[in-house]
Amino acid sequence: MDRVKGKVAFISGIARGQGRSHALALAKEGADIIGFDLCDDIEHVGYPLARESDLAETIRLVEEAGGRIVAARADSRDFDAVDEVLRQGLDKFGRVDIAVPNAGVVSYNPIWEWSAEQFRNVLDTNLVGVWHVVKAVMPHIIAAGNGGSLIFTGSVASLKGCPNTGAYEISKHGVVGLMRLVAMEGAPHNIRSNIICPTNVRTGMIDNAQTIGLFVPDNPNATLDDAAPAFATMNMLPVPWISAQDISNGVVFLASDEARYITSVVLPIDAGSSDTISMGG
């Protein structure tokens, strides 16, 4: 229970889903947590995002597990807001060792039907926002001289074509490039950089009417379980999706000293999805 004891992790998109799962998993292994979430909807994203009550629940769960946490509302698209949350955490914990730029959204349309605003909102959240986390944490990790680990959130859409995902796929390809740059430029400072590329994860990003409708277009009242057979066609293993905990297991490993010589790695945790034919292909 102490694989990252004494370390501090900075996580974006912490209020629910994968971000909450990562915060809880790292806290249970001894890390202090700094995190933020928008806690509001984004225009052109067709499903509800986290709320302040979700962020409060993450704080409660981390503290219930015996962890310490500094968390606040912030928009990953706003560097000053991201940097301010990190500074609040540094004031309390005095260091940062791990970064998990996790915040992301998805929207759907054939690429030529995307509006400029829709495109920018997704790209700015999923790629520019990730860079903001990098820009905020790297000077502090370098100055401390203790090394560090950045674990990026990719997708099978980082690795292959996924129709109708537009700026989501573009941004997730871009995050792979960002991860590799950080690995190369951080290596002299013993800072490792890796990316996890999941298949569909059962969170609010897929458990919503818009996404379910892509998989079960003939049933407007379909639930996620109704869509399970269609989701399963994306994976090699016979599962429709995986859990956030499956990804958190990889995050903890990559953050820990067990992975001290692992850097610049693209790690699919995807039930074989990255080696299957693209959805609609």
Looking at residue 278, what DSSP letter applies? P
Looking at residue 234, what DSSP letter applies? T
Buried/exposed 204-231: b ≥16 CB within 10 Å, e otherwise: ebbbbeebbbbbbeeeeebebeebeebb
Q: Which of 47, 108, 168, 261 is catalytic?
A: 168
Per-residue 3-state assignment (H helix, E strand, C coil) for 4-52: CCCCEEEEECCCCHHHHHHHHHHHHCCCEEEEEECCCCCCCCCCCCCCH
Residue 231 dihedral angles phi and psi, to the nearest 5°? -60, -40
How far, in Å, CA of 61 to CA of 75, rounded?
A: 22
Q: Please say if 168 is a catalytic residue.
A: yes
Catalytic residues: 168
